[in-house]
Amino acid sequence: MRTPVIAGNWKLFKTAPEAIGLVTGLVPLIAGKSGVEVVIAPVFTVLDRVRSAIAGSGIHLAAQDCFWEEEGAFTGEVSPKMLIDAGCTHVIIGHSERRQYFGETDATVNRKIHAAGVAGLTVLFCVGETLEERESGNTFNVLRTQIAGGLAGVGTAAMERVIVAYEPVWAIGTGRTASDEQAQEAHAFIRSELHSLYGPATAAATRILYGGSVKPENIGGLIAQNDIDGALVGGASLKAESFAVLVNAA
């Protein structure tokens, strides 16, 4: 009943020719695949060109971040309205790299989720613990705080356009994936938090993606878990062949 999602986070990679090359390779490899929501998140500067290259393919376009104001004197920022103008239907918010390097907090994540939702974007809301937090037994506390903070004031109706991505920081870009059991345990916890906040229907309907060194070799075990509804993929989304394997496995 939850349509799986495979989302590619391209991070700070791919110039326009490289981006077009990637999607041109990808489209035929996943043509005919149904029952999965495919999302790619290129850098802002290539969104519009990628939009043209994926037209008619069913692939959804996402941005990697957005600001919470619609417009104004905010040098360097991009608003949800402008992302929609560039062809986006989705936006990643609260990625751990933004939290780690760019001062993103649960409060700023929350403002962005509200603004993106109001504009009509589907949010890929990222949460996840660091290695230190896991090893000190704080994984669930961290997840609870990030979920409550990020979703503060977000109502049940708005949750229809929120996808949660569980990305343990220690698994991102490290080649060290969470085991299927570790991931399932965290996903089940996140779903129970959604149940406390929103009740059974929203908890059952919300997609929860796993992210952190997802690749063709480990997607099968992860996607087979009850509470894992897809993947947010960095490294393996940068090649058409590996990303297509993930899409076709979902």
Closest CA to 209 of 6, 27, 3, 32: 6
Choose the catalytic residue: 37, 60, 90, 95.
95
Site string for ligand PGA, 189-228 (x = CB under 6 A): ----------------------xxxx--------------
Binder among 37, 129, 133, 167 for ligand PGA (CB under 6 A): 167
- What is each CA distance from 90 to 138, 178, 247, in whole angstroms? 30, 25, 17
161-172 burial, b at 16+ Cβ within 10 Å, e below that, comes to bbbbbbbbbbbb
Task: Confirm whether 167 is a catalytic residue.
Answer: yes
Binder among 6, 235, 246, 247 for ligand PGA (CB under 6 A): 235
- Name, in order, each residue with C-beta under 8 angstroms of 119's C-beta and a sequence gap of 6 or more: 70, 79, 80, 81, 83, 84
Rounded Cα gap, residues 214 and 111, in angstroms: 29
Closest CA to 209 of 69, 37, 79: 37
Least separation in angstroms between residue 92's CB and ligand PGA is 8
Q: Which is nearer to ligand PGA, 80 or 212 (CB)?
A: 212
- Could you say which residues in the range 4-43 bind ligand PGA, by CB under 6 A? 9
Closest CA to 167 of 224, 126, 125, 215: 126
Q: Which is nearer to ligand PGA, 129 or 202 (CB)?
A: 129
Least separation in angstroms between residue 55's CB and ligand PGA is 25
- The number of beta carbons lying within 10 Å of the beta carbon of residue 226 is 9
Binder among 91, 233, 246, 250 for ligand PGA (CB under 6 A): 233
Q: Which is nearer to ligand PGA, 97 or 227 (CB)?
A: 97
- Name, in order, each residue with C-beta under 8 angstroms of 112's C-beta and a sequence gap of 6 or more: 65, 66, 67, 68, 93, 94
Q: Tell me the number of residues near ligand PGA by CB under 6 A.
A: 13
Least separation in angstroms between residue 52's CB and ligand PGA is 25
Q: Which is nearer to ligand PGA, 60 or 203 (CB)?
A: 60
Please say whether the dihedral angle defined by the alpha carbons of residues 191, 195, 197 and 202, taken in this order, is positive or negative: positive
Least separation in angstroms between residue 222's CB and ligand PGA is 12
Task: Confirm whether 132 is a catalytic residue.
Answer: no
Catalytic residues: 95, 167
Chain residues that interact with ligand PGA, rule: CB under 6 A: 9, 167, 172-173, 211-214, 232-236
